Amino acid sequence: MTVGSQVHGTLVTLQSIEATLSSLALKTSEQEAREAFHQGALKTRTVIHEIKKRVGQIEYEEPQYQQT
Protein backbone atom coordinates (compact mmCIF):
# COMPACT_ATOMS: atom_id res chain seq x y z
CA MET A 1 0.00 0.00 0.00
CA THR A 2 1.46 3.35 -1.03
CA VAL A 3 1.52 6.47 1.07
CA GLY A 4 -0.97 8.03 -1.35
CA SER A 5 -3.46 5.21 -0.95
CA GLN A 6 -3.09 5.34 2.84
CA VAL A 7 -3.80 9.08 2.83
CA HIS A 8 -6.82 8.54 0.57
CA GLY A 9 -8.06 5.83 2.95
CA THR A 10 -7.63 8.18 5.88
CA LEU A 11 -9.61 10.84 4.04
CA VAL A 12 -12.50 8.45 3.40
CA THR A 13 -12.51 7.40 7.05
CA LEU A 14 -12.55 11.02 8.22
CA GLN A 15 -15.43 11.83 5.88
CA SER A 16 -17.37 8.91 7.35
CA ILE A 17 -16.65 10.11 10.87
CA GLU A 18 -17.83 13.62 10.01
CA ALA A 19 -21.07 12.26 8.54
CA THR A 20 -21.68 10.15 11.63
CA LEU A 21 -21.06 13.05 14.00
CA SER A 22 -23.36 15.31 11.99
CA SER A 23 -26.06 12.65 12.00
CA LEU A 24 -25.76 12.16 15.74
CA ALA A 25 -25.96 15.93 16.27
CA LEU A 26 -29.26 15.99 14.40
CA LYS A 27 -30.72 12.94 16.14
CA THR A 28 -29.89 13.61 19.78
CA SER A 29 -32.29 15.55 21.95
CA GLU A 30 -29.81 16.52 24.66
CA GLN A 31 -28.45 20.00 23.94
CA GLU A 32 -25.00 19.40 25.43
CA ALA A 33 -24.50 16.20 23.44
CA ARG A 34 -25.82 17.86 20.29
CA GLU A 35 -23.28 20.67 20.65
CA ALA A 36 -20.44 18.22 21.32
CA PHE A 37 -21.30 16.20 18.19
CA HIS A 38 -21.58 19.38 16.15
CA GLN A 39 -18.22 20.68 17.37
CA GLY A 40 -16.63 17.32 16.65
CA ALA A 41 -18.01 17.38 13.11
CA LEU A 42 -16.67 20.90 12.55
CA LYS A 43 -13.21 19.96 13.80
CA THR A 44 -13.24 16.85 11.66
CA ARG A 45 -14.21 18.96 8.64
CA THR A 46 -11.16 21.16 9.29
CA VAL A 47 -8.91 18.09 9.33
CA ILE A 48 -10.54 16.83 6.12
CA HIS A 49 -9.75 20.14 4.43
CA GLU A 50 -6.09 19.86 5.47
CA ILE A 51 -5.86 16.23 4.33
CA LYS A 52 -7.35 17.15 0.95
CA LYS A 53 -4.63 19.77 0.53
CA ARG A 54 -2.02 17.16 1.43
CA VAL A 55 -3.46 14.71 -1.12
CA GLY A 56 -3.05 17.40 -3.76
CA GLN A 57 0.57 17.89 -2.74
CA ILE A 58 1.26 14.16 -2.83
CA GLU A 59 -0.29 13.79 -6.26
CA TYR A 60 1.62 16.78 -7.60
CA GLU A 61 4.99 15.87 -6.08
CA GLU A 62 4.79 12.10 -6.34
CA PRO A 63 2.88 11.03 -9.49
CA GLN A 64 3.33 7.35 -8.61
CA TYR A 65 0.96 7.86 -5.64
CA GLN A 66 -1.95 8.95 -7.82
CA GLN A 67 -5.08 6.83 -7.57
CA THR A 68 -6.15 5.25 -10.86
Predicted pLDDT of residue 17 = 98
Predicted pLDDT of residue 60 = 81
pLDDT, tens digit only, all 68 positions of the chain = 678 788 989 999 999 999 999 999 999 999 999 999 999 999 999 999 999 999 888 888 776 655 55
CA 28, CA 9: separation in Å to the nearest integer? 29
Nearest to 55, CA basis, from 18, 1, 19, 10: 10
CB 67 within 8 A of CB 5: yes
CB 1 within 8 A of CB 63: no
Predicted pLDDT of residue 57 = 87
What is the pTM (predicted TM-score) of this model?
Answer: 0.82
